[in-house]
Amino acid sequence: MSKSTITIDVETDDKRVPEGITWHATDSVTGKPQSSKAMMLSFWDGEEKTALRIDLWTKTMMVDEMADFFYQTMMTMADTYGRATNHAEMVTDMKKFAEEFYHKFREKQLKENKA
């Protein structure tokens, strides 16, 4: 049996607001830590039947980047759900919601930029 370790380092300011996020996996192809502006990490507690999560983003994460991050995360969550369940119709619904979310964000952003 093999084992892989993922290490996440978060640098914070004096108010504990993230300024930098880096992560490294022992079996990573790059072999060096990767920096990130945001992260979402979820664990399933089978006994409590609840999701435990850590959501962090840095001060430099822009709103449009957050929308892209959420859109891409929702799309990949749909793919993961599909691989785990083979519920193609649900995957389609999830992806449709993600696309609607992203289009609504873009419209809102365009309106705000014109104002």
Q: Are residues 73 and 54 in the same domain?
A: no
Q: Are residues 56 and 81 in the same domain?
A: no
pTM of the predicted model as reported, rounded to 2 decimal places: 0.88
The residue assigned the tokens 């996440």 is 8
Q: Are residues 77 and 114 in the same domain?
A: yes
- Whether 46 has a pLDDT exceeding 90, the answer reads yes
Cα gap 69→105, rounded to integer Å? 12
Overall domain count for the chain: 2
Name the band, by pLDDT with cuts 50, 70 and 90, for residue 22: very high
Q: Quote the domain boundaries for residue 94.
A: 62-115
- Whether 115 has a pLDDT exceeding 80, the answer reads no
Q: Are residues 51 and 89 in the same domain?
A: no
Other Cβ atoms less than 10 A from the Cβ of 21: the count is 20
Q: Are residues 54 and 85 in the same domain?
A: no
Q: Are residues 52 and 77 in the same domain?
A: no
Q: Are residues 4 and 35 in the same domain?
A: yes
Name the band, by pLDDT with cuts 50, 70 and 90, for residue 29: confident
pLDDT recorded at residue 73: 98
